[in-house]
Amino acid sequence: MTDEDSPNNRRELLEIALGEQLNALLSASHALNVTTSARFDSSLQPAAFHIVRWLYAYGPSSAATLAESTAMDRSSVSRLIKQLETLGYVKKEAAPNDRRGVVISLTETGQQKITSALKEKGSVFFERISTWSDAELNDFMQMLRHFNGFSHD
């Protein structure tokens, strides 16, 4: 048996191949996010769209929570929120439990635009899995759950 045929080397080659596929997935996902962001509003930076997506997924939030949750600095988040507010996609309201605090939420326009943009993004995703059997889809989902640290059961 040569070094190339050793179990350690085969494992290393498999891990490298996995890394390449994960990189391809992340790159394709990023490109799709940029495209979806442009469909939402081409005048916005993708970072602003990231804020809108976060609000869509998790609901009204403070600017501090948005900054922490999106890994952006507070000044960038504040600037992007102002831009989104000017365009009518988000609104600011007094926090219900702290009148000094401010909560940012999507407006109806923001909600409609994000829903539409995400439907287009979803169509790309669903097209990619449209020919998979239920068993293949289930296996893939279970492997991703396991990879992401969730229960394999």
pLDDT tens per residue across span 59-97: 999 999 999 999 999 999 999 999 999 999 999 998 888
The domain in which residue 9 lies consists of 3-132
d(CA 142, CA 153): 8
Residue 104 lies in a domain: yes
Paired with 105 in beta bridges are 91
Q: Which residue type, as a one-letter code, is found at position 146?
A: H
Identify the band that residue 6 occupies on the pLDDT scale cut at 50, 70 and 90: confident
- Structurally, how many domains does the chain consist of? 1
Average pLDDT over all residues of the chain: 90
Residue 33 lies in a domain: yes
- For the stretch 112-135, pLDDT in tens is 999 999 888 888 888 989 999 999
Closest CA to 72 of 41, 91, 105, 49: 49
d(CA 153, CA 148): 13
**pLDDT attached to residue 22:** 93
Residue 141 lies in a domain: no
Say how many residues make up the chain.
Answer: 153
- The runs of H, that is alpha helices, within the chain are 7-40, 46-58, 63-70, 74-86, 108-129, 134-147
d(CA 117, CA 57): 14
Angle between helices 63-70 and 46-58 in degrees, nearest 10? 110
Residue 63 lies in a domain: yes
Residue 74 lies in a domain: yes
- What are the tokens at 31? 């490109």
